[in-house]
Amino acid sequence: MRTVSMKSISFITTLLLIMLALFSPSHAQQIVTLSWNDVVNLSRTQSLELRIQNYEYRSQRLGEWKSLSNFLPSVSYQYQIVKNVERPVFVIPNFGEVRFGTLYNFTHAFQLQYPLFTGGARYANWRIQRNIKKSLFETLQNKEEQVVLQALESYFSVILAHNLIAVNQRAKEVAGSNLEQVQKFYDLGAASQLDLLRAKSRYSSSLPALTSAMNNRKLTLENLKFLLDLSPRDSLIILDSLQENNFLENFDKLKVDELQEIALEYRSDLKGTEYQKNAAGDQRLLTASQFLPSVVLVGNLQHQAQIDQFNVNNEDYVRSKYIAVNIQLPLFEGGSRALDFQQSRINHKKAEMQYDFFKKSILLDVENNYNQYLEAKANLNSLRQAMVEAREALRLANLTYQEGISTQVEVLSAQLAFTSSEVNYQKGVFDFNITQLRLLKSIGKLDRIWENKG
């Protein structure tokens, strides 16, 4: 009877493990259907960037609670065993040497400390932590808008790439049909060799554009999966088409100065910068508190047993307790307190300047996005009309060429113009949608696109 070797058993086991790993649920491919509303919801709930920022905010919330704990007393317990290996010896004249103390000391002690006055340091520290928490909350809101905007831009880029594939595929088919027609005319002697070479060249030049569009669609899909924290193995089904969306709604009727006023009121990153400025001001109060005395109330309850044997009984302990008030005022520390205070003043002034600079940059950002939106809106109508005219020009060029009226050059020019106009129109629709979203982001109102849907 044949026996199975250990090597064969190991190979079979490894093969089974690989098969189990490949067909496990964690490796299963999922089909994800997406609309732009789904992209908004997934980016807000699954974005790694947003979750990291959320953990940072939650950590700072605990930091604020920690600063409040400084207003409460601290209570500690201490148990100590001391063996006096060599006890102190005192020499008394006319009497001789005397040893003091016992061989063992046992101590149980409770101590309470409560800062009565810290020069305002506790209050200033609490204000700093609270302003940092508020700043991080606004940063979290701003990060949410950034993540949603990036996801929507990537989503519409996928749709644009898909449409460009269709445009270039049609251009390839038109160039192929034209090549077949010219080939027939050439075989009949009705077209020159130059016409045939031009038709072949036009067909060949349509292939790289199609390949580039297909590769771009693959890249945009992978980027969208990354932003939504989806597996690269997942398949995406896009439900929307590239069409004109009215994301701005009533904001479309406002002037640029009105939009700038809205931005100054609602931009979360501006609010976060303001809280950072306030925290810098509180830091100045914290450093100023170093010049004031600190007053601490101390209470101590102690049970101590001093005996010469290790075994201790309850009656060996002697209780003692005291209450004290400690006042401490640093008189000289090499000028470090004064330097800390000067640094805090400089940092506060810098934070104020950063806030003013950021406010001006927001106004410029709103104006730039507003102008880009107006440009995209104006261009869209022109691009639509140009595409309609180019389609009609191509139809007439093909018709007149078949009748021998126009030349092959005119047909090729019409094909190129139509393809170019169709690509430009698709990009125009994309720009129209994206500039609206960017304008909403610049005025701090991007959240309305999911709040209204909610």
Distance, in Å, from the CA atom of 306 to the CA atom of 330, rounded to the nearest integer, reads 37
Opening angle at CA 384, ends 380 and 387, nearest 5:
140
Instruction: Check whether residue 129 and residue 173 sit in a common domain.
Output: yes
DSSP secondary structure letters along 263-332: HHHH-HHHHHHHHHHHHHHHHHHHHHGGGS-EEEEEEEEEEEEEESSS---GGG-EEEEEEEEEEE----
Instruction: Check whether residue 282 and residue 238 sit in a common domain.
Output: yes
| Distance set, CA 177 to CA 18, 39, 171, 241 (Å) | 50, 40, 10, 28
Mean pLDDT of 63-77: 93
Could you tell me which residue, 239 or 353, shows the higher pLDDT? 353
Q: Which two tokens stand for residue 438?
A: 């960017």
For the chain, the first-to-last Cα distance in angstroms comes to 72
Instruction: Check whether residue 111 and residue 217 sit in a common domain.
Output: no
Distance, in Å, from the CA atom of 431 to the CA atom of 164, rounded to the nearest integer, reads 14
In a domain, 4, yes or no: no
Q: Which two tokens stand for residue 345?
A: 């003043």
Could you tell me which residue, 387 or 174, shows the higher pLDDT? 387
Please list, in sequence order, all residues whose beta carbon lies within 8 angstroms of the beta carbon of residue 296, skipping any fewer than 6 positions away.
113, 114, 115, 116, 325, 326, 328
Mean pLDDT of 75-83: 93
In a domain, 1, yes or no: no
DSSP secondary structure letters along 142-171: HHHHHHHHHHHHHHHHHHHHHHHHHHHHHH
Q: Domains in the chain: how many in total?
A: 2
Instruction: Check whether residue 129 and residue 113 sit in a common domain.
Output: no
Per-residue pLDDT tens over the stretch 298-325: 999 999 999 888 888 888 899 999 999 9
Could you tell me which residue, 370 or 399, shows the higher pLDDT? 370
Q: Which residues pair with 294 in a beta bridge?
A: 328
Instruction: Check whether residue 209 and residue 321 sit in a common domain.
Output: no
pLDDT greater than 70 at residue 353: yes
Q: Which two tokens stand for residue 452?
A: 């209204």
Could you tell me which residue, 394 or 260, shows the higher pLDDT? 260
pLDDT greater than 90 at residue 297: yes
In a domain, 365, yes or no: yes
In a domain, 20, yes or no: no
| CATH number reported for the structural domain that contains residue 399 in this entry | 1.20.1600.10
Please list, in sequence order, all residues whose beta carbon lies within 8 angstroms of the beta carbon of residue 172, skipping any fewer than 6 positions away.
203, 206, 207, 210
In a domain, 91, yes or no: yes
* Span of 6-20, 205-219, 297-311 with lowest mean pLDDT: 6-20
Mean pLDDT of 197-207: 83
Question: Which pLDDT belongs to residue 5?
Answer: 53
Mean pLDDT of 368-373: 96
Instruction: Check whether residue 158 and residue 138 sit in a common domain.
Output: yes
Instruction: Check whether residue 192 and residue 284 sit in a common domain.
Output: yes
Contact 223, 178 (CB under 8 A): no
pLDDT greater than 50 at residue 3: no
Per-residue pLDDT tens over the stretch 219-247: 999 999 999 989 888 888 888 888 888 99
pLDDT above 90 covers a percentage of the chain that reads 52
Taken in order 60, 65, 70, 76, the sign of the CA dihedral is negative
Q: Which helix (H) or strand (E) holds 237?
A: strand 235-238
Q: What confidence tier does 57 reach under pLDDT thresholds 50, 70, 90?
A: very high
Per-residue pLDDT tens over the stretch 382-431: 999 998 998 888 888 888 877 777 776 777 788 788 888 888 999 999 99
| Distance set, CA 34 to CA 3, 14, 235 (Å) | 56, 38, 10
Instruction: Check whether residue 249 and residue 322 sit in a common domain.
Output: no
Question: Which pLDDT belongs to residue 22?
Answer: 46
pLDDT greater than 60 at residue 17: no
In a domain, 264, yes or no: yes
Q: Which residues pair with 303 in a beta bridge?
A: 108, 319
In a domain, 244, yes or no: yes
Question: Which pLDDT belongs to residue 354?
Answer: 95
Mean pLDDT of 337-351: 93
Could you tell me which residue, 398 or 41, shows the higher pLDDT? 41
Count of alpha carbons within 13 angstroms of residue 329, beta-carbon side: 5
Instruction: Check whether residue 156 and residue 240 sit in a common domain.
Output: yes
Tell the residue number behind the tokens 């034209």, with chain if given: 178
Q: Is 173 helix (H, G, I), strand (E, B) or coil?
A: helix
In this prediction the pTM is 0.80
Instruction: Check whether residue 301 and residue 289 sit in a common domain.
Output: no
Distance, in Å, from the CA atom of 162 to the CA atom of 240, rounded to the nearest integer, reads 11
Specify the amino acid at residue 35. S
Could you tell me which residue, 136 or 407, shows the higher pLDDT? 136
Question: Which pLDDT belongs to residue 398?
Answer: 81
Instruction: Check whether residue 35 and residue 63 sit in a common domain.
Output: yes
Distance, in Å, from the CA atom of 376 to the CA atom of 434, rounded to the nearest integer, reads 9
Mean pLDDT of 95-107: 80
> Whole-number mean pLDDT of the chain?
87
pLDDT above 70 covers a percentage of the chain that reads 92
Question: Which pLDDT belongs to residue 284?
Answer: 92
Question: Which pLDDT belongs to residue 368?
Answer: 96
Distance, in Å, from the CA atom of 427 to the CA atom of 395, rounded to the nearest integer, reads 23
Highest mean pLDDT among 98-102, 128-132, 423-427: 128-132
* Span of 2-11, 77-86, 275-284, 345-354 with lowest mean pLDDT: 2-11
Per-residue pLDDT tens over the stretch 29-40: 788 888 889 999
Q: What confidence tier does 187 reach under pLDDT thresholds 50, 70, 90?
A: confident
Contact 408, 184 (CB under 8 A): no
Structural domain boundaries, residue 414? 30-72+121-293+336-451
Instruction: Check whether residue 224 and residue 212 sit in a common domain.
Output: yes
Mean pLDDT of 376-386: 91
In terms of C-beta density within 10 A (0-12 exposed, 13-18 middle, 19 or more buried), how is residue 128 classed?
buried
Q: What confidence tier does 13 reach under pLDDT thresholds 50, 70, 90?
A: low
Question: Which pLDDT belongs to residue 184?
Answer: 83
